[in-house]
Amino acid sequence: MRIVVDFDLCESNAVCMQIAPDIFEVRDDDFLYILNETPGEADRARVEECVQRCPKQAISIAED
């Protein structure tokens, strides 16, 4: 799976960072950085939780 973030929608609320700090990081510049764009299947449940709980629905998973 590949993580896709729509940065036009992202407001850096950092909800994803709390769920998966090893994958998402909001830095001091208030922007979101994806630390690991292609996490393994073991991380799927957490990434799906990020997708569901993002207040801006800015995260999606691409299967490619």
Partner 1 sequence: MTRTPRAVTIVGASLAGLNAAEALRREGFDGPVTLIGAETHLPYDRPPLSKQVLAGDWEPERAALTDPEELEEDGIEARLGVRATALDLDARQLALHTGETVEFDGLVIATGARCRTMPGTEGIGGVHVLRSLDDCLALRADFEAMPQRVVVVGAGFIGAEVAATARGRGLDVTMVEALPTPLSRVLGDEMGEVCAEVHRDHGVDLRTAVGVESISGDGRVERVTLSDGSTIDADVVVVGIGVIPNTEWLDGSGLEVDDGVVCDASCLAADRVTAAGDVARWPNELFGETMRVEHWDNAAQQGAHAARRLLDAAAGPFTPVPWFWSDQYDRKIQLAGRVHGDDEVRVVTGSVDERRFAAIYGRAGRIVGVLGFNRPRHVMRYRALIEQGASFDEALAAEY
List residues binding partner 1 (CB under 8 A).
Answer: 11-15, 17-18, 25-28, 30, 52-53, 55, 57
Rg (CA), the chain: 11
Nearer to partner 1, 3 or 32 (CB): 32
Task: For residue 64, give Cα distances in angstroms to 7, 14, 18, 31, 44.
Answer: 20, 26, 26, 26, 14
Give least dist CB 6 to partner 1, A. 12
DSSP code for 63: -
Tell me whether residue 3 or residue 10 sits nearer to partner 1 (CB atom). Answer: 10
**C-beta of 40: minimal distance to partner 1 in Å?**
20
